[in-house]
Structure 1
Amino acid sequence: MKYAVITGASKGLGEAIAKSLIAKQFAVVTVSRTENEKLKMMAQEKGTSYQHFSCNLSLESEVQEVFMEITHRVFQKEPSDIFVFNNAGVIEPIATVGHLDKTPIDRNITVNLTAPIMITNLFLHKAQFSDTAVHIINITSGAAVRPIQGWSVYCSAKAGLNMFTQTVASEQAALQTKHSIIAFSPGIMDTDMQATIRSSSEKAFKDLKKFQEYQEKGMLLKPDMVANALIDLTLSGNVESGKIYNVNDLLN
């Protein structure tokens, strides 16, 4: 049996990933503050294993506690493969440096960077005592590789996530394990995060009008399309551990 663990699965890309994997008869574990009842019903209809864990990923102690429980339960099942999608993310604070507040800075770094590090660490630690192959998929952003005014914290967190991905891949290669880790940039999608971006001020975010035009001109990618491209890549058997993938390269 193959397991998938997905953070931020209540909506957007996380929900789309979960739907795709439930349809493929994966055992799915979703993690978010609120449960998506549609996923639960879909799993029941498909007769697949499904479990939800409530977790506030901005609280490090909660991440540690919840994922210690998840790793314990999942590895008990002795699956052949575990796919971990570190998908949850937050864009705020959107503001220029000099106008940032500490609380949203802490939340952004914890959700976008610290939590994926902690989760990856727990799964790879547990994997040392198992024959299960662990595959980590970190959802990154184009903001990781180019500065965007107003997004200094988000850009920095995602850049850190990319470097973490590459470093872990190097370590696992040196250890000659069968585990893999990649980062995946999903492009500009039609999600709540984009709505948050469009509701910011032009003073705080220089490219506001450009992002508003993405919606007006129908240029936003649908989460289901992005999720299907990601799942096809993940299950292809041709994943290059440590690589930063971009959805646009997969859709062309």
Structure 2
Amino acid sequence: MSGRAAIQNLTIITGASKGLGLAMAMRLLGPDHALLCISRSTSGALAAEAALHDAPLQQLSLDLSDARVAATHIRAWLEAQELGSLSTATLINNAGTVGRPGPLEQAESDDLVRSLRVGLEAPLVLTAAFLHATRYWRVLRRVLNISSGLGRHAIAGQGSYCAAKAGMDHFSRAVAAEEAAKAHGARIVSLAPGVIDTDMQSVLRQTDAALLPDRSHYERLKAEGRLDTPDSAAEKVLRFLYRADFGSAVVAGLGDA
């Protein structure tokens, strides 16, 4: 990194090629902030912005349905970092999938497996890799899991997504308890960011109402302008991440006090 500012912050983001993940990555770019972005595809816009600002960025095109590959890359990337000027290290588990909405009795096994691997298994595996690789670091370490209100309030036709987000909330509680017992433990939060105008919302609005009884709810959210933009939501999520009391409430929402 010759000629660049000393790295003060490291951030790993999954699902960073579009939507909320891309918006967060764009906001985090900077010469003193190293980013590792993991998605099924890379973002040309993100790469161009990083080059413009001389911001250290690595994008990996990986399928998180096999998180072991991503975990290996995360460990190697973290182990290659110089810690001299480092202040923070953060993992943001943002990637997820709604799969194919519909009653569980009609679900295909492959789709259910993929939904849970991407939405729950990957955050678990990547969090383990991050915590292990940084276990001796004396910097502020954070894990931010992007959850959903559907992990706390179930709806018909979204069984796998609800299960993944509920599991994310609860494993966050367990890991937070483990880290709290350590002298330099990481802080972890599972955060519901509100309803955002992303591809997932589009999928829900286009799903047959016979498969998703609450489809009209998602249609109203769009029609009434009640969906947050990815950039606006990213600003709110990152503001939450930077709060001095981050981690005091393990399961939280942007609407919480």
User: By how many angstroms is 1:81 displaced?
Assistant: 1.4
The alignment partner of 1:31 has SS state of strand
Contact 1:90/1:112 (8 A) holds in 2: yes
What are the within-5 Å matches in structure 2 for residues 89-108 of structure 1? 89-108=96-115
In structure 2, what is the equivalent of residue 188 of structure 1? 195
In structure 2, what is the equivalent of residue 77 of structure 1? 82
In structure 2, what is the equivalent of residue 137 of structure 1? 144
> Percent identity of the aligned residues?
29
Contact 2:31/2:55 (8 A) holds in 1: no
In structure 2, what is the equivalent of residue 128 of structure 1? 135
| Stretch of structure 1 that moved more, 230-239 or 188-197 | 230-239
Q: Matches of 1:24 and 1:72 in 2, distance apart?
A: 20
Contact 1:3/1:28 (8 A) holds in 2: yes
What are the within-5 Å matches in structure 2 for residues 133-172 of structure 1? 133-172=140-179
Contact 2:78/2:134 (8 A) holds in 1: no
> Are residue 49 (structure 1) and residue 74 (structure 2) matched?
no
User: By how many angstroms is 1:24 displaced?
Assistant: 8.4
Contact 2:157/2:211 (8 A) holds in 1: yes
User: By how many angstroms is 1:21 displaced?
Assistant: 0.8
Q: Matches of 1:89 and 1:65 in 2, distance apart?
A: 20
Q: Matches of 1:121 and 1:172 in 2, distance apart?
A: 12
Using a 3 Å threshold, how does the CA distance of structure 1 residues 24 and 218 change in structure 2: closer, same or farther? farther
The alignment partner of 1:98 has SS state of helix
- TM-score under structure 1 length normalisation: 0.93
Q: Matches of 1:177 and 1:14 in 2, distance apart?
A: 28
Contact 1:25/1:46 (8 A) holds in 2: no
The alignment partner of 2:49 has SS state of helix
Contact 1:71/1:122 (8 A) holds in 2: no
In structure 2, what is the equivalent of residue 238 of structure 1? 245
Contact 1:32/1:54 (8 A) holds in 2: yes
Q: Matches of 1:171 and 1:242 in 2, distance apart?
A: 15
Provide, for residues 117-146 of structure 1, a one-character-per-residue CA deviation record: whole Å limited to 9, x for no partner: 001101111122333432100000000111
The alignment partner of 1:27 has SS state of strand
Contact 2:31/2:53 (8 A) holds in 1: no
User: By how many angstroms is 1:15 displaced?
Assistant: 0.5
2:125 to 101, 118, 135: 118
Contact 1:55/1:66 (8 A) holds in 2: no
- TM-score under structure 2 length normalisation: 0.91
The alignment partner of 1:175 has SS state of coil
Where structure 1 has 5 or more consecutive residues not aligned to the other structure, the ranges are: none
Q: Matches of 2:45 and 2:216 in 1, distance apart?
A: 34
Q: Which protein has the bigger helix share? A: 1
- Equivalenced residue count is 248
The one-letter code of the counterpart of 2:82 is K
2:235 to 228, 234, 238: 228
Q: Matches of 1:193 and 1:92 in 2, distance apart?
A: 9
Contact 2:11/2:33 (8 A) holds in 1: yes
> Are residue 248 (structure 1) and residue 245 (structure 2) matched?
no
The one-letter code of the counterpart of 1:84 is L
After the TM superposition, list the runs of 4 or more consecutive aligned residues in structure 1 that deviate by more than 6 angstroms.
none
1:36 to 25, 39, 43: 43
The one-letter code of the counterpart of 2:113 is D
Contact 1:191/1:223 (8 A) holds in 2: yes
